[in-house]
Amino acid sequence: MTGPAPVRRGYAAPLRAVDRTEVLSEGPSGTRFVLYKTVDPEDPYMEGHFPGLTLLPAVFVLEALRQAVTGLVGADEPLNLLEVRSGRWLAPMQGGDEIRLDVTVTPDGPGRLRVTADGVRQDGTPVAAVKATLGDRAAVLAARPPEDPPPAPDDGPPGPDYTGILGLLPVRHPMLMVDRVESLDPGRRITVAKAVSGSEPCYRRMADGLPLSRYMYPRSLMLESFGQASVLLWLSTGTAQGVPVAAAFRDCSFFGEVRPGAVLRHVSRIDRLMENNVFVSGQTWDGDRCVMTVGALVGSSRPRERVDRAMTAAP
């Protein structure tokens, strides 16, 4: 006896990031709705994110907004992130937590929607506050990257090899999104390569016959990959203690489409280093195309008991 056939996806996505939505109001000036997502350790990518401590990656909140608004507007093509104007991650989201996001969507020009969201856990603890812009495919293709030339190949010393990366980052397959450190100037700058493979879980169970546009690599994963490169740079300073987590994103912009076969090149720089916190910025390139700029990523190093409530509750 066989079970139901698996649901085929219409576009690349790392996981089903929305369990249900409730529309509160809608009209020409905007729409308000609530979305819910329970953090499931069995979801794709989750097994490799902090093994032994299931935490929802901050970028999957952005993915939830993308999926929910795409469904809400009934777009023929999926919407995509154009900008993350600001995103703050206020408390951990662990396995079993139900996250509620209160979302407002307003028009922002042709093919563009402004999205604001505030998230809480089921116990009422605030977990996220996001301001982002989503756009249709025409808006994605219209976004113009900065005119800066691609960075020259680095002549600096190489960083850790793959086994060294495994020894440093608290992530594993398939959530490990750093393939090679091309160069590392400890405490200052890192250049990292990430190959986009068609065998990644975000392409799993996609329906046959879809146009190439549906295979666009999720921008939430691109931002996660940049964040992992930045953690490697931070760890090179010797100042990060405890569990490194994303605390905030600001002024992130995306350009063009990235598909399987691309090799992303993240260039991350430390702008400021404080006790238990780091501020980085940088760009991501696909060949000579700039596909993402990060104005600021704030990392925070927290004691494990602050991110694992099971330790706090233990006798």
Sequence-distant (6+) residues with CB within 8 A of 218 are: 12, 13, 14, 63, 202
Q: Measured between alpha carbons, how far is 51 from 73 in angstroms, rounded to an integer?
A: 36
Residue 49 catalytic? Answer: yes
Distance CA 8, CA 261 (A): 22
Alpha-carbon distances, residue 19 vs 80, 99, 159 (angstroms) = 19, 10, 40
Cis peptide leading into residue 174 (ω within 30°): yes
Q: Which residues contact 307 (CB under 8 A, 6 or more apart)?
A: 53, 55, 92, 243, 245
Which residue in 39, 45, 49, 140 is the catalytic one? 49
Name the pairing type of β-strands 98-107 and 277-286.
unpaired
Cα dihedral value 178, 181, 186, 187, nearest 10 = -30
Rounded to whole angstroms, the Cα distance separating 172 from 23 reads 37
Measure the CA–CA gap between 266 and 282, rounded to whole angstroms: 7
Which ranges of 121-268 does DSSP label H, i.e. alpha helix? 137-142, 162-168, 219-235
Active-site residue list: 49
